[in-house]
Amino acid sequence: MRLKNKLELFDFTMIVVSLVIGMGIFRTPVNVAAASPSPIIFFCAWLAGGLVALCGALTYAEIGSRLPVTGGYYKVFSYAYHPSIAFAINCIILVSNGASGAAVALVGSEYITGVIMPGAKNTEYIQTVHISIALAAIIIFYGVNMLGLRLSAKTQTVLTIIKIGLIRRAAASRADLSASSKSSRSTLCSVSSRFPVNDVPLASAVCSDGGR
Residue 94 makes CB contacts below 8 A (sequence gap 6+) with none
Domain membership flag for residue 102: yes
Question: Each residue of 62-77: b (16+ CB within 10 Å) or e?
Answer: eeeeeeeeeeeebebb
For the ranges 47-51, 139-143, 185-189, the lowest mean pLDDT is seen at 185-189
Residue type at position 201: P
Residue type at position 191: V
Give tens-digit pLDDT for 81-138: 888 998 998 899 888 888 888 888 888 888 888 888 877 778 888 888 888 999 998 9
Structural domains of the chain, count: 1
Domain membership flag for residue 199: no
Domain membership flag for residue 204: no
Domain membership flag for residue 205: no
In whole angstroms, what is the distance from residue 57 CA to residue 15 CA? 13
In whole angstroms, what is the distance from residue 63 CA to residue 56 CA? 11
CA angle 20, 21, 26 (to 5 degrees): 145
Domain membership flag for residue 33: yes
**Greatest extent of the chain over all pairs of C-alpha atoms, in Å:** 86
Q: What are phi and psi of 22, to 5 degrees?
A: -85, -175
For the ranges 33-42, 70-79, 100-109, 172-181, the lowest mean pLDDT is seen at 172-181
Average model confidence (pLDDT) for the chain?
77
Q: What is the domain extent for residue 172? A: 9-185
> Is residue 157 within 8 Å of residue 14, measured between CB atoms?
yes
Domain membership flag for residue 203: no
Query: Would you state the pLDDT for residue 181?
Result: 62
Q: Whose CA is closest to 17, among 175, 174, 171, 167? A: 167
Domain membership flag for residue 145: yes
Q: Whose CA is closest to 12, among 168, 197, 209, 153? A: 153
Is the confidence at residue 199, as pLDDT, over 50?
no
Residue 212 makes CB contacts below 8 A (sequence gap 6+) with none
